[in-house]
Amino acid sequence: MKFLCFSDLHCDQAAARKLVRKANEADILLGAGDFAKQHRGLADTLDILAAIDRPAILVPGNGETAEELTDAAAVWRSAVVLHGAGCTINQVAFWGVGGGIPVTPFGDWSYDFDEKTALGLLQDCPRHGVLVVHSPPLDTVDHDSTGRIRGSSAIREIILQRQPRLVVCGHIHSSWQQQTTLGETLILNAGPEGVLLDVAGEPAQS
């Protein structure tokens, strides 16, 4: 199955149009949050992406809430928003959790969760599925421009427990398009350009 993975558009309409063109090469799109910029411009970005007819899994970033993304994504008929929830497409189980994890230093506008809350949102993540999160797991693709590790211990813990075949994230801009593995799990910090991944595997188990 071929995935087009992206994150952190931050209202970049030119990048959104490129994703529309690139979507024809994919079976499913995975959007790992931050479509808006501090809660602004969300509808304009989603209106462009709505031209994509392939199935799409979206999670909110820390720049928009789950409710805001769900409302704006109503125009994108092939998209589903996940936050502490899952779905199955083509016998592959997907789970999504958005927001900044752990709590960011950005202030009240940022849609953030502490690690304990994040574990609750992640607890029903299926084994060997695909996990879409805005924040990366701790000490993977999460090194900021100063080299500081910014990822989530809760997300790392659930990956080690459930061993998803793929984790797609964003949030840490300096790690865009970087890939690594944690156990048998491939982890991608996608970025706004879009990364095509061909991921094989057996149907996920709950």
Q: pLDDT tens digits, residue range 164-176?
A: 999 999 999 999 9
At residue 203, the pLDDT reads 41
Q: Does 24 map to a domain?
A: yes
pLDDT of residue 144: 85
Give the span between the Cα atoms of 53 and 28, in whole angstroms: 10
Report the candidate in 95, 113, 110 with the shortest Cα–Cα distance to residue 154. Answer: 113
| 21 pLDDT above the threshold of 50 | yes
**Cβ neighbours of 202 (radius 10 Å):** 9
Q: Which CATH number goes with the domain that contains 33?
A: 3.60.21.10
Residue 206 belongs to a domain: no
Q: Structure tokens of 67?
A: 């409710």
pLDDT confidence bin for 147, thresholds 50/70/90: confident
Q: Tell me the average pLDDT of the chain.
A: 95
Q: Are 95 and 124 in contact (CB under 8 A)?
A: yes
203 within a domain of the structure (yes/no): no
Q: Give the bridge partners for 31, in sequence order.
A: 6, 58
Question: Is there a domain that residue 11 lies in?
Answer: yes
Residue 38 above 70 pLDDT?
yes
Write out the residue range of the structural domain in which residue 69 sits: 2-198
User: What's the domain count of the chain?
Assistant: 1
Which region among 91-100, 125-134, 139-148, 166-175 has the lowest average model confidence (pLDDT)? Answer: 139-148
204 inside domain: no
Q: Residue 141 is encoded by which pair of tokens?
A: 């693709």
Round to whole Å and give the CA distance between 103 and 114. Answer: 5
